Structures are given as structure tokens and as C-alpha cells.
Amino acid sequence: MYRAVIEDLIHWKQSTNRKPLILQGARQVGKTYILKEFGRSEYAKTVHISFDRDEKARQFFSEGGGAERIVRLLSAHTETDITAGDTLVILDEIQECPAALESLKYFQEEMPQYHIVVAGSLLWISMHGNASFPVGKVDMMRLFPMTYEEFLAAMGRQSLLKALQEQDWEVINNMNEVYIDFLRQYYYVGGMPEAVLAYTEGRGLKEVRQIQERILAAYRFDFSKHAPSSEVPRIGMVWDSIPAQLAKDNKKFIYGALKKGARASQFEMAIQWLNDAGLVHKVNRVSDIKMPLKFYEDFSAFKLFLLDVGLMGAMVNAPASLVLIGNDIFKEYKGAFTELFAYTQLVTTGIPVYYHSVDNSTIEIDFAVQIGENVYPVEVKSEVSLQSKSLKTFIQDHPELKALRLSMQNHIVQGWVENLPLFAFKEALKARS
């Protein structure tokens, strides 16, 4: 299946300043698959080492001896002549071999001509142990679940994807209902590659949901296996609370929703663990929407988003009939699915994202984004209605800004606000960056 990150990988390969590459991301977002596809399409040979299953390879790195020795041993071990330029070496599940992570600095210093890529799902978790990170010696990329655009490609709708990429508003507006139908499907299936593959192969909605439930069960197993035992119950409580937190009118994360009298100090480590594992995204508040947004960041208030809209549907057992038939999914749960969808698409762009609210006020701006030299207040609407009381009030106080509204309506510019169809906004924002 097509993943946009392949273009970044090709650019990495062609770079004259290439360093060993770390591809990070949560479990089961497709890191191993895309690296193997990259090797198959761009190299004569690919060597894949998975440290969770290959004790001998772990031993090679643990014994040290430099990059040249490791290449020689891996060549013998895999019966593949690893040569510079035409061989991709994939070091998978690197969190199981901290010595391999440390060795990347030697590859960068001693043998930069070799093409080394690393994948790790719980890399930042392992860094809390004794592993030494090769600061300044590696390149970094991050892989997320499949986006709506990648879902369209998987469904064979390249013409719809092309119109989004080219921002052909005439086509997009005329095909609005078709895009919305695929958006409903994406809300149910989500972007986990195994679930998308099952859906495109026609294996049925029940199997898609079973795959999602297996992924959720695997994440819970990771809580028990990799988190400090004292933190496991708190991690579970935070994880389980997120759908309900997002279903509130005010989506700010409330510790008191976890248990009566809960305090930040009790749950900060649990939230950080989930964030480091790539299972949640923490979006901080800004006190104002001005350049640069980072100056106005308020770490005391934040929202938590799950990594994938399909997984949230599985967590709350949202029935297929609600998601796939009619427009109810866009109205239920107070827009929780819609705001989660918007954020999971936004985060893939690399655009800085925050939200804005004022204490003791009804004004809340769903997102604040910084693109180039501009900042935009962004409102996410789960229905067709374009009433925007908070957004309009905010713009009246900040007339120098132009607002963005993401909704189910067609693209239209209305003076102080530009309406972008929910399914088309990501490419529109990328075009401005």
C-alpha cells in the first residue's frame, strides 16, 4: 500500500549528508513493511535484522568492535554481501538491543557510505533505561497511521486523491458527497495498515473490528511488559478515559475524570509513557494566538488525542451502522471523532499545533496552527452548520487574523473565515507551508 513517507525515504537515500536513519512510530503503524518496500524498490539487496528474534545479531552488537566488524559479521550471518550504496540494512525492534542504537554513531563516523535504517516502536521508552542515544549522529523520521489520503489510494481512488493534492476545488466541491462517504469509511476503518488491508480486500467490517481489538490488546500487553509496574494501573486509567474526555464540550484533559481527587503529579508519568510510546498525542494550550505560538504555550492545560480514529471507534464499540450510514457519526459524541480525525491528519504535516481557551470564558478555539509566517485559529465543525460563536468572537478581538473552519461544507471564503472541507484541509494547509 502507498505511504507518503516513501518519498522522504528516497530523499534520505539521495542526500549527500545522509546519516543512519531512525524511523519511529507506534506499534503496527507499518514501519517494517514500508522499510522493506523501500529496500525492494530502491536497492539491489536488503538485509533485515529483527532484534526481538535474533539473539546472534544482538550478540554481534553487544560485543562491539566497530562498524566494520559488525558489517562483516552481519554479512556472514545473513549470507548477504553488504556493500555500500546498493544494500539497505534494516535494524528492526532496536529497543531490544540498546548496543545497536549506540553503534549508530560509529556507522556515521566510520562508515557513512553504508545505508542503515532503524525501526523501533518503544524507542523513547527504552531510552529511560541505560541506552545511550547517538545525538547528532542520526537522521529521524516518524511514521503515523495511514492518512485519509493514503486510505483513498488504498481504495483505488487515485483521481479523488489527485484532486485533493492539486487543490482542484471545482472537482472537490462537485464530489463532496463521494469524499464524505469515504470519510465515513475511514472513521470506521481508521489508518492502521492491517485494518485498511483487510477492508480493501473485502474481508468485512467484523474482521476489521477484530483486527482493531487485537491491536488494542497488544497495546495493553505493552503497558504490562514495558512500563514500570507502579505506573501500569495509571496508564490504563488515562488510556481508558480519553474517549470520554474527547466527548466533553470542553475537551481539556481533566485529571478529576480519572478518579475523585486525582492530581497531575499522580498521572504525569503515565501520560508521558503513552506519549513516548506514540499511542497518544498531547496538545498544549496557548494563552493567545500570536507569532510565534511557542512563546504563548501553557503547559498546565492540554488535550490528549488517541493515535487513530478507527481505534477509538473500537474502544467505544461504535457500531458500523452509526459510522457508515447517514451523518450521525458527525453529530454523535459532541464531535469527538471529528476533532480526533482533524488532529491525526494535522500531526502528519509537521505543522506546530496547539489549542486556545480562556479560563472562565466560553471561548475555545479547537486548534491554533503556525504555517510559515502566519498563525491561524482553526475551528472543527462536525456538522454542516457553520455557526461559529467562539471563532467569530475571537476574530472580532483579533481582526488581523484570518480564521479557518473545517466542516462538511464546500470550500468557500467568507471574508474573515475560510471554510475548508474536512476531508480536504490537510492538503490545503500543506500547500501554504
What is the per-residue burial (b if ≥16 Cβ within 10 Å, else e) of 384-410?
eebebebbeebbeebeebbbbbbbbbe
Q: Say what the pLDDT of residue 135 is.
A: 87
pLDDT along the chain (433 residues), means of 10: 96 97 96 98 98 95 92 97 97 92 94 95 66 87 98 98 96 95 95 98 97 98 93 98 92 94 96 95 97 96 97 93 69 78 97 90 91 95 71 92 93 92 94 85
Every domain of the chain and the residues it spans: 5-142, 148-432
Q: Say what the pLDDT of residue 424 is.
A: 96
Q: How far apart are CA 280 and CA 142, in angstroms?
A: 14
Which residues contact residue 159 at a Cβ distance below 8 angstroms, ignoring those fewer than 6 apart? Answer: none
Enter the C-alpha cell of residue 46.
Answer: 536488503
Q: Which amino acid is at 342?
A: A
Q: Say what the pLDDT of residue 330 is.
A: 55
Q: Say what the pLDDT of residue 362 is.
A: 79
pLDDT one-digit tens code per residue, 379-404:
998 765 666 678 989 999 999 999 99
Under 8 Å between Cβ of 429 and 350: no
Q: Say what the pLDDT of residue 103 is.
A: 93
Q: Which residue has the cell 478518579?
A: 259
Enter the C-alpha cell of residue 87.
Answer: 544494500
Under 8 Å between Cβ of 40 and 10: no
Q: How far apart are CA 389 and CA 408, in angstroms?
A: 18
pTM confidence score: 0.94
Q: Say what the pLDDT of residue 198 is.
A: 98
CATH superfamily ID and name for 5-142: P-loop containing nucleotide triphosphate hydrolases (3.40.50.300)
Cβ count near 423 (within 10 Å): 26
Cis peptide before 292 (omega within 30 of 0): yes
Q: Say what the pLDDT of residue 389 is.
A: 77
pLDDT one-digit tens code per residue, 346-371:
999 999 999 999 877 778 999 999 99
Q: Say what the pLDDT of residue 39 is.
A: 98
**How far is Cα of residue 17 from the mean position of the Cα atoms in its chain?**
26
